[in-house]
A and B are shown apart, each in its own frame.
Chain A
Amino acid sequence: MKYVLMFTENEEGRGYWETLTEAQRATAYGRINHWFEEHGKAGRIVGGEELQGPSSSTTVRLRNGKAIVTDGPFAEAKEIVGGFAIVEVKDLDEALEMAKGWPGGSAVEVRPVVDHSND
């Protein structure tokens, strides 16, 4: 069963990140890398990326066959997705276990991926 783990951060979290020194940031990244390595070795990671900040985001909105391009994320949300991992695990509990161990960000949304293999 494939899930996407969406790592979100709130404004506070991002503010906190800004206050970190270079060394502290390296430690925080180290923990995140460790998480990816550990689960990668166990064969649970299918893919994943860290995303650039919301100021780099562009939204394409499709309405009545027309595409409208606007600056910024699609919603004025307090929590934004900062990165994601695609994981392959047995069931929701295993995915939740991975999310509980995520060392960065304020929340992790776990969503199953639609399985098109039987279509």
Chain B
Amino acid sequence: MARRLCRRGPARGRPLERLKKTNTATDLAVAAVFREEAGRLTAALVRTLGDFDLAEEVVQDSLVAALEKWPEQGIPDRPGAWLMTTARRRAIDILRRDKRYREKLELLEHANLHPEPPEADDRLRLIFTCCHPALSQEAQVALTLRAVAGFTTAEIASAFLVAEATVAQRIVRAKRKIVDAHIPYRVPEAAELADRLDGVLSVLYLMFNEGYLSRGAQVAMRRDLADDAIWLASLVARLMPDQPEILGLLALMKLTVARSAARFDAAGEMVLLPDQDRRLWDKASIAEGVALLERAGAMRMTGPYQVQAAIAALHSEARSWLETDWHQIVVLYDSLLRMADSPVVRLNRAVALSHFAGPELALGEVNDLAMALSGYHLFHSTRAELLDQLGEPVLAREARRRALDLCQNPAERSLLERRLRG
């Protein structure tokens, strides 16, 4: 499955910085407030000012101010109102300096700004603007986290292991493009909605994977990217209740995080799905995922996220790796391939196939993917597993070494090293 993709990117080559910070109750409470309020605030200010850049900037400033004040003074009784007052003051400061903004200043001074507007939640417009395909996907992710989920630039930087200045620059550039190129602030019309929604979902899925894969890597952060991705997906699902693919994505996320506790052993080493202690899986999260998938299925409009969630659900329902319904999983992979053919999906299909058609046939299918996947560590580690099953330890070792050369995720590297030693 695509979610097993190794983390890649310019900063991945650096040694992992181990942040000593631990989550205090205040940190978690502040994060929860930011997540609830930031998007609403930004949306309310964009609506009043008609200026995405300014609105986003002053909300960010108010979050940074809250991070300075709240840990000492405590979270105010009405945190949303506190943030709104701070953001508004900041906006007035900025606008006073510039005569061109006189009209906007009046709007702001007289507007009745509610952090929680009684009318329909317009964070959806905010999300679609942040995830506009005219922006780079990196910028879409950063902007969505900042404007909708209330991340600070520093938090985004530590979540993605990139320099804070890099994130700041990405955001400045993206916002400049929104203004200069007149990227609209609205939910796309019916004709483009499906395409644009795909873009939003892939941003959320990327966030989720980034957060989920770095979990357990001993990087304690104020905020858990995977939780925030789930929160954002739930928000989109609530705002667009008739779109089954959102429910499919949310189901996939719930079914995936359900396995969190089993993914690392007591020594902090990664445990792959076949070897996980299934008693540690979170049954409530699995039940939620399955229920979401059923709700999506009732809409009778299938899509790749629903199919991936269905595969995850089959794994969740199986008593053991060997007792998994591999036939059904291959059928699901086939339907996924019909929707979007990809070599990574073919690789996963071959693994499922090996369980009832044997490793030899599966290896043949995997080898056919060499051209497309020779730079992908899981291609080589899958070959290694199959070669082991076929009694070819020398070739298996060679493949595993190749996988190790290509993999940069510390937990996965450690797993490969153990296999090479044992």
Contacts and interface: CB of A to CB of B under 8 A. Distances in A.
Interface of A: 1, 90-93, 96-97, 111-112
Contacts of B184: 90-93
Contacts of A111: 181
Interface in B174-208: 180-184, 188, 192
22 contacts: A1-B182, A90-B182, A90-B184, A91-B182, A91-B183, A91-B184, A92-B132, A92-B134, A92-B181, A92-B182, A92-B183, A92-B184, A93-B183, A93-B184, A93-B188, A93-B192, A96-B134, A97-B192, A111-B181, A112-B180, A112-B181, A112-B182
Q: Number of contact residues on B: which range applies?
A: under 10
Interface in B116-155: 132, 134
A31 to B, nearest CB: 21
- Top 9 closest pairs, chain A to chain B, by CB: A91-B184, A91-B182, A1-B182, A112-B181, A92-B181, A92-B183, A92-B182, A93-B184, A112-B180
Contacts of A93: 183-184, 188, 192
A93 B199 CA distance: 15
Most buried by B among A1, A93, A97: A93
The dominant DSSP class at the A interface is mixed
A91 B188 CA distance: 12
Given A91-B183, A97-B192, 16 more contacts: A1-B182, A90-B184, A91-B182, A92-B132, A92-B134, A92-B181, A92-B183, A92-B184, A93-B183, A93-B188, A93-B192, A96-B134, A111-B181, A112-B180, A112-B181, A112-B182
A44 to B, nearest CB: 14
Nearest to B180: A112
A69 to B, nearest CB: 32
B349 to A, nearest CB: 33
A45 B334 CA distance: 46
B176 to A, nearest CB: 11
A52 B188 CA distance: 37
A99 to B, nearest CB: 11
Contacts of B134: 92, 96
A65 to B, nearest CB: 30
Contacts of A92: 132, 134, 181-184
Interface in B82-137: 132, 134
A47 to B, nearest CB: 19
A94 to B, nearest CB: 8
B246 to A, nearest CB: 21
Contacts of B183: 91-93
A90 B132 CA distance: 16
A30 B315 CA distance: 55
Contacts of B132: 92
A97 B184 CA distance: 13
Nearest to A114: B180
A91 B184 CA distance: 6
A91 B183 CA distance: 6
Nearest to B188: A93
Contacts of B192: 93, 97
A112 B180 CA distance: 7
B139 to A, nearest CB: 15
Contacts of B188: 93
